[in-house]
């Protein structure tokens, strides 16, 4: 038993996959992670039993070098891998999360006091747009590169380097395949934030002598909007397109905004707050036709406006093909598709070639576009997540659609004055609902055992209504009363039922205490009321 655990750790494979019989075996995270835990313990005990396990033992052993290698327990702290991982480090969070004097961590307190769902010891997670759990099969894929196969993928002189490089190239091929790209067109980054910065600033800077105009939308992710604002400060002109009440852009408005000097159009594929899917193919076509025509008028050999899309919420969720859709640059994030955090990619078209100025300079890795040592464990995980997402896209979509519909049916059959935000044909795993006449913060407070995102964004001192919901035309009250339900691959029917029942109960209770709700029940139109003070 020890021998088999040790050998599976040598290869690093098969730890979690043994716990995951198939894609249909949903909710296997717990059993898998306990499999990883027990394997970890086995590893450390096997280390301590092996002749070479102690760094202080004599070196007169005759064991061949290959067998002396200890696996992945740290040479300086052989038991390190057996140490249970704490949820939070009090010193790191001192002043933020720690209670003064008590030395206890606020996060631990909250988690401990949050009511537990009947079948688990954790609150229910319905926040799949923030991040997704790492699929156990992805963990399996990553393990060897965090243990024995730790070479630098840029080391060209030995086998450790070559095997890491192979892992990187395999990962690249899977990511490319997910979006119909050539592997050479994939540049690894730390995530979609970096990819968005790279694409937008990189293209703008490279072509600035010819073109200085960028088009984006008002509902992009902050990292796109802030990159554009930065360029404005440098003298670029940026058009922020409004959206319609359903969150979709108006293609005519986009066409009207195009100029001979438009260098880049950056429009996200799936919105992270409302799940709206923009008409990407139509935008790609418009830029190839009208955009190219206008660019020609600008002269000086200027190319058509390049089309960048932030696909962080789309990749692995809906079918994407960069050639079919006419996309020139695309941002991807691993942790939105059941891969590890800290890794993403930027697709950059090679034919016709898109040029950009790198934002990170150094050793010239990634074709000089993104210097820095690549992270083979993260890339192997990202690649596996992409491979699985492609393989199981239809299954996941059907599972998620069914649960999203069930959630809405449960809620709508028991509550009135619930608004659906966004477009009905959007990505189903992102359900944004407004529970009118209920104060959003109170709603979230009453739902402590469910992890959800609200229609408010926390800035330094206040809860601001979401700029995305405001762009749809929601007033502050409705935006504040909104919740986003993020449903994912591992969400269960039971969880959805529990959450919807809880929402119904809490909304009814809060409305019962609300004078506004009483007025609405009496048929008073609140818009006609003149408030004093």
- Binding site residues, ligand PLP, CB under 6 A: 129, 191-193, 221, 223, 268, 272, 310, 312-313, 333, 344
Residue 346 falls in the annotated catalytic set: no
Of residues 278 and 436, the one with the C-beta less far from ligand PLP? 278
Of residues 146 and 457, the one with the C-beta less far from ligand PLP? 457
Residue 322 CB, nearest distance to ligand PLP (Å)? 17
Angle at 59 between CA 58 and CA 65, to 5 degrees: 140
Of residues 47 and 190, the one with the C-beta less far from ligand PLP? 190
DSSP per-residue codes, 16-33: TGGG---TT--S-HHHHH
Q: What is the 3-state secondary structure (H, E, C) of 83-149?
A: CCCCCCCCCCCCCCCECCCCCCEHHHHHHHHCCCCCCCCCCEECECCCCCCCCHHHHHHHHHHHCCC
- Cβ atoms < 10 Å from Cβ of 110: 12
**Torsions phi, psi of 70, nearest 5?**
-90, 0
Residue 273 CB, nearest distance to ligand PLP (Å)? 8
- The single-letter DSSP state of residue 528 is G
Of residues 415 and 430, the one with the C-beta less far from ligand PLP? 430
Residue 191 CB, nearest distance to ligand PLP (Å)? 3
Residue 333 CB, nearest distance to ligand PLP (Å)? 3
Helix (H, G, I), strand (E, B) or coil at 423: coil
Residue 192 CB, nearest distance to ligand PLP (Å)? 3
Residue whose CB is nearest to ligand PLP in the complex, by number: 191
Helix (H, G, I), strand (E, B) or coil at 329: strand
Q: How many CA atoms lie within 13 A of 36 on its CB side?
A: 24
DSSP per-residue codes, 135-199: PHHHHHHHHHHHTT----TT--SSHHHHHHHHHHHHHHHHHHHHTT--GGGEEEESSHHHHHHHH
Residue 327 CB, nearest distance to ligand PLP (Å)? 15
Of residues 215 and 268, the one with the C-beta less far from ligand PLP? 268
Nearest to residue 474, comparing CAs of 239, 148, 243? 243
Of residues 191 and 202, the one with the C-beta less far from ligand PLP? 191
Angle at 252 between CA 192 and CA 313, to 5 degrees: 20
Nearest to residue 88, comparing CAs of 97, 100, 79? 97
Given 346, 430, 451, 458, the catalytic residue: 458
**What is the Cα–Cα distance from 257 to 247, expressed in whole angstroms?**
18
CB 32 within 8 A of CB 16: yes
Give me the active site residues, please. Answer: 458
């Amino acid at each position: 038993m020890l021998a088999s655990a040790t050998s599976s750790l040598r290869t690093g494979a098969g730890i979690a996959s043994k716990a995951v019989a198939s894609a249909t075996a949903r909710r296997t995270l717990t059993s898998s992670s306990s499999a990883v835990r027990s394997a970890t313990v086995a590893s450390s005990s096997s280390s301590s039993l092996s002749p070479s396990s102690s760094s202080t033992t004599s070196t007169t052993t005759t064991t061949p070098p290959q067998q002396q290698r200890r696996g992945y327990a740290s040479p300086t702290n052989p038991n390190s891998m057996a140490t249970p991982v704490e949820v939070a480090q009090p010193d790191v969070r001192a002043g933020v999360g720690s209670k003064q004097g008590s030395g206890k961590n606020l996060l631990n307190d909250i988690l401990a006091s949050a009511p537990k769902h009947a079948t688990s010891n954790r609150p229910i997670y319905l926040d799949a747009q923030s991040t997704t759990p790492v699929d156990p099969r992805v963990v399996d894929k990553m393990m060897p590169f965090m243990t024995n196969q730790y070479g630098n993928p840029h080391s060209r002189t030995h086998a450790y380097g070559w095997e890491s490089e192979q892992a990187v190239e395999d990962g690249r091929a899977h990511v490319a395949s997910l979006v119909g790209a050539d592997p050479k067109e994939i540049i690894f980054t730390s995530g979609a934030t970096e990819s968005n910065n790279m694409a937008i600033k990189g293209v703008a800077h490279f072509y600035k002598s010819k073109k200085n105009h960028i088009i984006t939308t008002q509902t992009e992710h902050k990292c796109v909007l802030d990159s554009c604002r930065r360029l404005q400060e440098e003298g670029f002109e940026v058009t922020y397109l409004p959206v319609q009440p359903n969150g979709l852009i108006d293609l005519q408005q986009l066409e009207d905004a195009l100029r001979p000097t438009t260098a880049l159009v950056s429009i996200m594929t799936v919105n992270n707050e409302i799940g709206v899917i923009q008409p990407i193919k139509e935008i790609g076509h418009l830029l190839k036709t009208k955009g190219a025509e206008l660019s020609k008028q600008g002269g000086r050999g200027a190319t058509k406006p390049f089309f960048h899309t932030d696909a962080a919420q789309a990749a692995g969720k809906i079918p994407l093909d960069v050639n079919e859709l006419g996309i020139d640059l695309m941002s991807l994030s691993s942790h939105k598709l059941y891969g590890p955090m800290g890794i993403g990619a930027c697709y950059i078209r090679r034919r016709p070639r898109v040029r950009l100025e790198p934002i990170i300079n150094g050793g010239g890795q990634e074709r000089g576009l993104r210097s820095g040592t690549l992270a083979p464990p993260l890339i192997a995980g990202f690649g596996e997540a992409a491979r699985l997402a492609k393989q199981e896209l239809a299954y996941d979509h059907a599972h998620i659609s069914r649960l999203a519909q069930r959630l809405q049916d449960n809620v709508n059959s028991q509550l009135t004055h619930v608004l659906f935000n966004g477009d009905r044909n959007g990505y189903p795993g992102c359900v944004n609902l407004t529970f009118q006449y209920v104060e959003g913060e109170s709603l979230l407070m009453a739902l402590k055992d469910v992890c959800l995102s609200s229609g408010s964004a926390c800035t330094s001192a206040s809860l601001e209504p979401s700029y995305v919901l405001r762009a749809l035309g929601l007033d502050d009250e409705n935006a504040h009363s909104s919740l986003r339900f993020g449903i994912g691959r591992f969400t269960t029917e039971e969880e959805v039922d529990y959450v919807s029942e809880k929402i119904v109960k809490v909304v009814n209770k809060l409305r019962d205490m609300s004078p506004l709700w009483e007025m609405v029940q009496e048929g008073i139109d609140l818009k006609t009321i003149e408030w004093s003070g």
